[in-house]
Amino acid sequence: MAGGCDEYWREVSVAGVPVRYCRCGAGSPVLILHHDIGCPDRAPFAEALSVNHDVLMPVHPGFGLGSERAEWMRSVRDLAVLYRGLLAGLGIGRATLVGLGFGGWVAAEMASMAPADVDRLVLVGAMGLQPREGFILDQALVGYIDYAEAFFKDPAAFDAVYGREPTNDQLEAWDICREMCFRIAWKPYMYSQTLAPLLGSVTAPALVVHGADDGVVPADCAAQYAAALPNARLETVADCGHAVALERPEALARLVQDFIGE
Amino acid sequence: MHLMYFTEQPMSTYPADKGLEFGATALMFSNRYFDPVDGSRLYNEFLEQYLYAEEVGIDGIMLNEHHNAPFCMQAKANIFAAILAGMTEKVKIVMLGNPLPLAENPVRLAEELAMIDMISRGRLVSGFVRGGGQEQLAAGVNPAYNRERFEEAHDLVVRAWTETGPFRFEGRHYQNRVVNPWAVPLQKPYPRVWVPGVISRETIVWAAEQRYPYIALNTSIADTKKIWQTYDDVALEAGYEAGPENRGYLIQVHVSDNEEKAIENARQFRWMQGEFTGLAHPVWSTPSGYSSPRNRRAFVEFAAGRRANPRGQTSFEQQMEDLRIIAGTPDTVVPKLRRILEETRPGILALWGNDGTVSQEDSMTCIRMIGTEVFPAIREIAKELDLKSPFEAEAPVSIRYSTDLKAPAAAAE
């Protein structure tokens, strides 16, 4: 998407912050929210969805080189409110929200604060809830490449996205993403203590997806989302790590397209 | 000249091979290797060293703290400061320093320091630091707000010391609805604040803006001069001329009655596998957001093993050559220190006397010779070079209490 269609990139000011987003395709609106390690140059998952949908994929402000951060932002819920503002500003009332990993947490927050504006909700390896077993991997303790590699089951899939030796620009971008994660999700780390009860109001159909070999977010988080959302279904993608959209883009696109078409 | 003794308080009995095996001796290196029996002995040996430092005429004892690592056993500098406040009579108790961002309630820190100042009858120097990157992780404190927390906590502590309570403080990171400590410093307007540092330009600038002495931690002569240039420029802009009373220097110096033994013991300054803070993953020592964005590129490349440590890493021999480590008898040590004093002109000098596995006996010998031979000679040199400490120069505690400020040089033209 981003790689092949530069003309689809736009920028709009929301809450005083410039938000870059890619908009591509036609159909019902789908908002895709990316991982905490930034928005990769190529997004085959989003491209596949854009065949049948009006796909919007913003870069979280402050996540990556050239992405201005919101100095005032202090929580992931703040980011979710900002995206509510983005959609409203674009005149999009109801949308399908697709959140990837950290972006899944943002999507769940967005859904909880305006349940009626959710067409469908897709959470893929979503952070945001405290696992009852295990922990969400602490990126503060591992190197930039090690953390990104942990998103994949198959090292070759990492290479395909970032290259065997990620560039120094990429390293710097990951450090900037990491700083922004610390700014808004440091404590408790990568989950909310108040989100779970609020999910009960989200009656829209929800699809909770989890990579069977997710080494970043424990499977229990997916189980909790599926239990807390009244109308949710849980799907596990076999032979796949945390970054399902990057490691198994076609499989995920199929799942999501079928789900939206139901 | 204010002359001090310093030790990192090394936990020297940890099994070095286990550190090498694990690949790190900081943050995540398991405390299963911390032996409290040795710990108890070592804490008492360090106390013995401090009391002896006072006995042999040393002016000040410099204290610091670190966490989760064998290179420094002090987990709370105020603990030793409190002990020394009660057990010593003359020495200045120089905290270099309390890591402000680690404080969840700076008012409590202000109270502790006020107690130390009163118990010591006004002998506290209350230095403040940002704390290393690993300290933020060890304390669960957000590294991305380190500098904001540092500056805000400083402001709150100073207000708690100087303003009549009760008052209300509403900051970005600290909100204290009732500030009214029933413990205030004996020294007025407040205890001197010195700021140690190594690399961050922002900290040098901040210290100069506050008119707080900056203590360069074991930097090379060339780097120390660069630091003073930055400090002096900011000072002029702020309306004062910086001098020796604004400059401190900490240097690793081991003194013995025997040259070979001195050099052998000085090798212990590199005891933690060549890194005085131990081996650590770069992202532990420089978590995202902790360092200046100007250094981001260099640090990420270092973290990925693509370039050398921007903080620098040099061999023992090179450090001896650069006079960042000095070892010998007083006869050989004093001329080398003289050169540093001539070149960098500090009014505060701390000797980091021993490290690693240097025996208690050799440490005590070192302290005796520093106090009775090295420092008397340094005092004479300081007089000759007119190197006055903040106490001797009667320097104001901070810019706010300065009565000699000039209009900024640029504006006057």
**B199 and B187 inside one domain:** no
- Specify the pLDDT at position A8: 87
Task: Decide: helix, strand or coil at residue B265.
Answer: helix
Cα A56 from Cα A33, distance rounded (Å)? 9
Q: Which of B288, B292, B297 to mutate to test the interface with A (most CBs of A within 10 A)?
A: B288
Cα A187 from Cα A69, distance rounded (Å)? 19
**Among the three residues B193, B214, B235, which one is the final residue of a domain in this structure?**
B193
pLDDT, tens digit, for every residue of A4-19?
455 689 999 999 999 9
What are the backbone dihedrals phi and psi of residue B147, each rounded to the nearest 5 degrees, phi first? -70, -40
Cα A86 from Cα A13, distance rounded (Å)? 8
Select the residue of A171, A182, A187 nearest B304 (Cβ to Cβ).
A171
What are the backbone dihedrals phi and psi of residue B225, each rounded to the nearest 5 degrees, phi first? -65, -40
Amino acid present at A245:
A
Residues of chain A contacting residue B140, judged by C-beta atoms under 8 Å apart: 187
Distance of CA A252 to the CA centre of its chain: 13
Report, as ranges of residue numbers, the positions in chain B whose pLDDT lies below 50.
Answer: 411-413
Q: Tell me whether residues B288 and A142 touch, CB distance under 8 A.
A: no
Domain residues for the domain of B250 are: 195-275+313-401
| pLDDT grade for A42, boundaries at 50, 70 and 90 | confident
The mean of the pLDDT values for chain B is 95
Strands B214-217 and A95-100: unpaired
The complex's ipTM works out to 0.95
- Specify the pLDDT at position B297: 92
**Interface residues from chain B to A (CB-CB < 8 Å):** 27-28, 137, 140, 142-145, 281-284, 287-289, 296-297, 299-301, 303-304, 306
**B186 and B216 inside one domain:** no
Residues of chain A contacting residue B296, judged by C-beta atoms under 8 Å apart: 172, 175-176
Domains and CATH numbers, chain A: 6-257 (3.40.50.1820)
- Specify the pLDDT at position A4: 46
Residue with structure tokens 């269609």? A5
The answer to whether the beta carbons of residues A51 and A128 sit under 8 Å apart is no
Q: Tell me whether residues B284 and A141 touch, CB distance under 8 A.
A: yes
**B76 and B210 inside one domain:** no
Q: Tell me whether residues B288 and A143 touch, CB distance under 8 A.
A: no
CB atoms within 10 A of CB A163: 10
Supply the angle between the helices B106-119 and B146-162 in degrees, to the nearest 10: 50
Q: Tell me whether residues A175 and B287 touch, CB distance under 8 A.
A: no
Cα B242 from Cα B308, distance rounded (Å)? 34
Give the distance between the most distant pair of CA atoms in chain B. Answer: 66
Q: Tell me whether residues A143 and B306 touch, CB distance under 8 A.
A: no
Q: Which of B283, B285, B292, B296 to mutate to test the interface with A (most CBs of A within 10 A)?
A: B283
Q: Tell me whether residues A144 and B283 touch, CB distance under 8 A.
A: yes
**B126 and B207 inside one domain:** no
Cα B60 from Cα B349, distance rounded (Å)? 10
Torsion of CA A248, A206, A104, A257, to 10 degrees: 40
Instruction: Please tell me the total count of domains within chain B.
Output: 2
| DSSP state, residue A60 | P
Q: Does A187 touch chain B (CB under 8 A)?
A: yes
**B394 and B249 inside one domain:** yes
| B295 occurs within a structural domain | no
